[in-house]
Structure 1
Amino acid sequence: MDDLTAVRELEADVPPLTDDARSAARVRLQHAIVQEGRSGALSRRLMLRVAVAGTAAAAVAGGVVVAARRDGDTGAPRMTTLNAAQLLHKAADRSRADSADTPIPRNDQYLYTKTYITRTYVKDGRVKTWTDESWMSVDGSKPSRREEFGKVHNDPPLTKHEVRWPPTEYAKLAKWPTDPDKLLKWLRMEQKSTPQADMQAFMNACMLMQGPRVMPPGLEAATFEAVAKLPDIRLDYHEVDALGRRGIALSYPETSFTFVFDPKTYAYLGLRLKGSSAKKVHGEWRQVAWYHEMRGLEELGVVDRIGQRP
């Protein structure tokens, strides 16, 4: 059986992916190839597994919202005077000023998250909500328990050929550059600035911010400043985050993800996703029921075992 046949069989009963999910999967695969290339060749079968696993994760986790900062500084200037780049620099300053309450995780621990999800359907305005709890092994060496839309998934440990991109290990994240220019090169995967490379950089920034992970000092701020250097970023002043607070969205053309910020404090509120459900019609998958989805990370902590809460 050749690889194309394997892919077709794997996708036979899977809804078609969005362009954003495919882009995210492609990034994961590229990173896996680079990592494996340092130690030896990666088999075609394992490459396929990494690609498919990355695609599924991107499709599921694309709308995850990370922890919001505490509100404050209500006397800040009104956001209507700022453009997209200025907003991101304000958000970076706010990020540096905030203190991190989450302890630094060890590789043998778990990242605990409690997430509030709200999905609003475009056609009729219906709203569905979920509150999910998950325990992710920091380095992937232990089983993880992940709850998605109320359903519990018990994930096995990663194999030596499987990678997470971006990483969740604090030691690996600490090696990421906090200089915005250098970080932007990483987010572009060392490519020159083109519309496609810039879109990939924006997607990588979304994947980094979606969590769950504990950011080393300065990395979150540098991410905002790196995105500020992209030429086509734009603002939308009519967003609402998952917990009902008003927010301003920042997006990149032809992507369905948006960053959401507080309009007064510049605090980062999370990510918003436009997506759709899919169903089989006469043997073919069709996109139906478009929706907007937000995820509010109510709690992020570090624990020693599955089932434990901070």
Structure 2
Amino acid sequence: MDELTLVREWGADQGGPSGRSRAAARSRLEAAMAEESRGVASREGTLSRRLVFRTAFVGVTAAAVGAAVVMADDDEKENTPRLSTVSAMEVLRRAADRSRSVGSELPVPRDDQYFYTRTHITRTPVKGGQTRTWTNEAWISVDGSRPSRREEYGKVHNDPPLGEHEVLWPPTTYSALQEMPTDPDKLLDLLRLGQGSSPQSDRMAFFEGCMLLKGPRVMPPGLQAAALDALSKLPRIRLNHDDVDIAGRGAVGVSYPEADFTFLFDRETYDYLGQRVKGSVPKKVNGEWKQTGWYYETRSLRDLQVVDRIGQRR
């Protein structure tokens, strides 16, 4: 089943996703989350770039489920703007309001165009050590019908067009994204795969929301704000106590128990800045894969453009 068909079935006013779509989506998400919890990129293509754009997110811990906390200490962090006591729900709602007020200046992409992205990555070992940085660039075919190119961690990857039966989630085509609801309650039901609220379905919804916000894509009006509002309704979301700096901007984090990533928002404006993850380097020891070299990694999208060809940046 292709992604447009899947999304259209989700968006149809016929009581939610079909059984086939639900099963397929649930299977993909459960496989993706299991893979991420191991911190190993799929060696058999299950989580290829075509499915989740090479997501390599593993673990991040935070405190107090949904509780209100003070996010800065004046004595220890004199140069950090002080946040009032807020909850994770409030942070997401303020971020949604910010998204609505800012909007997007990018044009509606055509299927034959590319998304150009420039992403800054900072990686610091958990136990201390030298911080490494990369600037990743990518040219991703909007509808997957053309070859794409990615530069990740200093290595260039040339990706062939999508195969006939390969699934792209979240979709990148503007028409497919327009099929997604901008009502937060309806969108949350879609992200939960129509399964109602439970720790498992809510974790899936958080994962889906992460994939949707991660990009690369141009959001139709109101979709990003709806996604943030939808995630604010999850009962177990929580604030991250750690201060994270992204290009000189202090960030506040929102995560979900056992989810392997954290959303980062500007502490003053609530702009969406990127994501923070805890990952590791897989190493084969005595025939078994072990996780070594744990690190924290911050990813921030510095540029997103709609271009006509690979190599073009504006």
TM-score, with normalisation over the residues of structure 2? 0.76
Deviation at 1:241, TM superposition (A): 4.2
Deviation at 1:306, TM superposition (A): 0.8
Distance 1:229 1:203 in 2: 14
Distance 1:259 1:236 in 2: 9
Maintained 8 Å contact 2:57/2:260: no
Distance 2:44 2:243 in 1: 32
Distance 1:132 1:204 in 2: 23
Instruction: Find the partner of 1:179 among 176, 183, 197.
Output: 183
Q: Which residue pairs with 1:203 in the alignment?
A: 207
Q: Which residue pairs with 2:70 in the alignment?
A: none
Maintained 8 Å contact 2:116/2:137: yes
| 1:218 has 2:210 as partner | no
Maintained 8 Å contact 1:246/1:262: yes
Q: Which residue pairs with 1:30 in the alignment?
A: 24
Maintained 8 Å contact 2:273/2:301: no
Distance 1:83 1:244 in 2: 24
Aligned residue-pair number: 257
Q: Which residue pairs with 1:118 in the alignment?
A: 122
Q: Which residue pairs with 2:66 in the alignment?
A: none
Maintained 8 Å contact 1:110/1:306: yes
Distance 2:213 2:137 in 1: 18
Q: Which residue pairs with 1:99 in the alignment?
A: 103
Identity percentage of aligned residues: 56
Three-state SS of the structure 2 residue aligned to 1:247 is strand
Letter in 1 for 2:253: A
| 1:259 has 2:297 as partner | no
Q: Which has the higher helix share?
A: 1
Q: Which residue pairs with 2:67 in the alignment?
A: none
Distance 2:311 2:197 in 1: 45
Letter in 1 for 2:206: F
Maintained 8 Å contact 2:108/2:174: yes
Deviations 1:121-166 (A, max 9, x none): 1012321111121100000000000111111100000012011101
Q: Which portions of structure 1, spanning 4 or more consecutive aligned residues, are displaced by more than 6 angstroms?
A: none
| 1:167 has 2:159 as partner | no
Q: Which residue pairs with 1:68 in the alignment?
A: none
Letter in 2 for 1:293: E
Maintained 8 Å contact 1:32/1:163: no
TM-score, with normalisation over the residues of structure 1? 0.77
| 1:239 has 2:243 as partner | yes
Letter in 1 for 2:264: V
Deviation at 1:96, TM superposition (A): 0.2
Letter in 2 for 1:157: P
Deviation at 1:53, TM superposition (A): 3.4
Letter in 1 for 2:285: V
Deviations 1:193-237 (A, max 9, x none): 110000000000001111111111101101111001100000023
Q: Which residue pairs with 1:55 in the alignment?
A: 47
Deviation at 1:59, TM superposition (A): 8.6
Maintained 8 Å contact 2:103/2:221: no
| 1:138 has 2:135 as partner | no
Q: Which residue pairs with 2:198 in the alignment?
A: 194
Deviation at 1:51, TM superposition (A): 11
| 1:306 has 2:310 as partner | yes
Deviations 1:245-290 (A, max 9, x none): 2111000001120011111111111111111111111121100011
Could you say what the CA RMSD is over the residues aligned between the two structures, in angstroms? 2.5
Distance 1:111 1:122 in 2: 33
Deviation at 1:32, TM superposition (A): 9.5
Distance 2:27 2:291 in 1: 32
Deviation at 1:242, TM superposition (A): 3.9
Q: Which residue pairs with 2:90 in the alignment?
A: 86
Maintained 8 Å contact 1:250/1:260: yes
Deviation at 1:63, TM superposition (A): 4.8
Q: Which residue pairs with 2:62 in the alignment?
A: none
Matches of residues 284-295 of structure 1 in structure 2 within 5 Å? 284-295=288-299
Deviation at 1:106, TM superposition (A): 0.5
